[in-house]
Amino acid sequence: MGGYHAREWIAVDVPLLLAKHLLENYSGDASIQNMVDNGEIWIVPMVNPDGHTYSVTDNRLWRKNRRNNGDGSYGVDLNRNHSYEWGGPGSSGSTFSETYRGTEPDSEPETKAIRDFAMQHDLRALVSYHNYSQLVLYPWGHTNDPAPDAGLMDGLAKTMADRILSVHGKSYIPEQSSDLYLASGDATDWLYGETGVPAFTIELRPRSGNPGFQLPESEIQPTFEENLPAALFLIQWTQDSSRMSTL
């Protein structure tokens, strides 16, 4: 998934280019053909289309969706609106806050759509793309306590970070989400908490706030290139019949 937060444009480009890569290389790459033929790969490149459009036309740094909150403020942070541990630390009850969690769990059509889709499919892993910071994050985000499958997810995150590093030498740090900051009601905590499915947030380029969300267009292709082997690794892992508990 990509595009939870409106201003994170590169987080739309990477999953979209992943879909393009799978389609264009299906006939000429046996490994891609095998992945596509032996599994289901679901790609949702833009979870927040209304917010994204507003970031293009009106406010480049807009984060939330475009919910009219009825008090002069707009928007709910979709990545604080999921039901698992909704309302906890790292989310806000203030409608004017960038991390406003909404009036209730899954109050937004976007999070409802993701919830309903996930519950209708046999998901085995998830990547939610964001930017920025160059991180590979895994649950929990709502607490500093380790998740029951922390060892497995840490191993998968480290392998993905290694695959990313091998392409252009860009270091992505694998760590528990709460090591960055506490956040409740986010997509990866929700999917893992509700279903036990390993779920990851990959914070894409750049490392720092300069250029931050406003990543130059020239960075799109190399960011995709370095994240491609990590995505292909995780897809392949979901299709491994042994589903190793350790790496």
Name the residues annotated as catalytic: 203
Angstrom distance (rounded) from CA 160 to CA 191: 19
Q: Tokens 């937060």 belong to which residue?
A: 5
Cα 172 to Cα 163: distance, rounded to the nearest angstrom: 10
Q: Which residue has the tokens 């293009």?
A: 56
Residue with tokens 């893992």: 192
Closest CA to 78 of 96, 100, 60: 100
Measuring CA to CA, which residue among 52, 41, 58, 62 is closest to residue 12?
Answer: 52
Nearest of 235, 138, 247 to residue 196 by alpha carbon: 138
Q: CB–CB of 184/142 below 8 Å?
A: yes
Cα–Cα nearest to 191, from 108, 82, 88: 82
Q: Which amino acid is at 76?
A: V
